[in-house]
Amino acid sequence: MSKKKTYFITGGAGFIGSNYIHYLFEKYDVVKVINLDKLTYAGNPANLDDLKNNPDYIFVKGDICDAEVVGKIFQKYNPDFLVNFAAESHVDRSIGNPEDFIRTDMYGVYVLLEASKKFGIKRFIQISTDEVYGSIDKGSFTEESPLMPSNPYSASKSGGDRLAYSYFATYGLPVIITRASNNYGPYQYPEKLISLFVTNALEDKQLPLYGDGKNIRDWLYVKDHCEGIEFVLQNGKIGEVYNIAGGSEKENIEITGLILELLGKPESLIRYVDDRIGHDRRYSLDSTKLHKLGWQQEHPFEKAMQETVQWYVEHQDWWKPLKSGEYLEFYKKQYPEEMPLT
């Protein structure tokens, strides 16, 4: 009997990684997944509770910077594919404390690449981000655009992105890099714009809108992102970068208004607060390269947003416990004495 296709997923207890693991088990009848996750504040094994009795899903609590644990996973499971989602992922946290970002988003990538080189891998997918390009006032970034990251998160992700490429260029490792735009959907830790604002609004708490609220992000439904990653893994050319755009550019104030409308909450919940330091004005991606390869997005923005908001309405038992403890400490530091978050 031939070996089951085996995916080594890192950071699979986080937002996109857990959606991707669900996606794999839905898409393939026969597949094995090893999920290595450090379980930082953003990692939540409850995201994958439905798989806990599945013998083809193996969870390993550990750090991608730990070469020993990474090596053991290679030796024991001989994975076909490695998809690296593990990262510190929140820009605001990177401004206050860049060290963990540099460690995980750069050094961690090095450890995974070294192990892949030593033990062999059919595809190494580095999940990068549109933020590596920096801000753009007009037009959209293609894969050829220069990288101009402007905060410690995007800079460390750029380091991981280019390091992964260097293992292709130098050692011939079968690396592919994806750069996606801002994701939204189920299981997003309630600290990013959409997950934070939906959950705050549900609790009748204020929505802290940075600056003039007119910064623009391009929104990608997480399920489209997962399909895009798998499409690239199966069809992409090694050594290449693929942008995965949402094709839905919106000002933050538009997103905020839509959330309030969908929840039937008043605009008085909006609170304009000081701008984020070094706040990128606009992100915009050109996905022509991926479309030419044959990928198409399947979920229209309005419907996917409705479903996302509904998911948070129906899963208060998932997000309410997350908005306490370490989360509150972080937000108290961000908004000392200003925001009634408890």
Residues that bind ligand NAD in the complex, under the rule CB under 6 A: 10-11, 13-17, 36-40, 42-43, 63-65, 85-89, 104, 108, 127, 129, 157, 180, 182-183, 189
Q: Show the DSSP H helices in the chain as ranges.
A: 15-27, 67-77, 91-96, 99-102, 108-119, 152-171, 193-202, 222-235, 252-263, 288-293, 301-314, 316-319, 326-334
User: Closest Cα partner for 131 from 167, 88, 80, 165?
Assistant: 88
CB of 76 to ligand TYD, least distance (A): 35
Instruction: Verify whether residue 171 is a known catalytic residue.
Output: no
From ligand NAD, ligand TYD, none, interface partner of 174 (C-beta below 5 to 8 A by class): none
Q: Classify the C-alpha dihedral 164-231-312-203 as positive or negative.
A: positive
Give DSSP secondary structure letters for 266-278.
-GGGEEEEPPPTT
Site map (CB under 6 A) of ligand TYD, residues 221-260, x = contact: -------------------------------x--------
Residue 82 bridge partners (DSSP): 8, 124
Check binding of 188 to ligand TYD (CB under 6 A): no
CA distance 168 to 272: 45
When binding is defined by CB under 6 A, the residue of 12, 108, 152, 208 that contacts ligand TYD is 208
* Closer residue to ligand NAD in complex, CB, 82/86: 86
Instruction: Verify whether residue 317 is a known catalytic residue.
Output: no
Instruction: Verify whether residue 130 is a known catalytic residue.
Output: yes
CB of 86 to ligand NAD, least distance (A): 4
Q: 3-state DSSP call for residue 208? A: strand
User: Residue written as tokens 């390869």?
Assistant: 293
* Residue of 80, 130, 218, 230 marked catalytic: 130
Check binding of 215 to ligand TYD (CB under 6 A): yes
Instruction: Return residues touching ligand TYD (CB under 6 A).
Output: 91, 131, 182, 192-193, 196, 208-210, 215, 217, 252, 276
Please identify every residue annotated as catalytic.
Answer: 130-131, 153
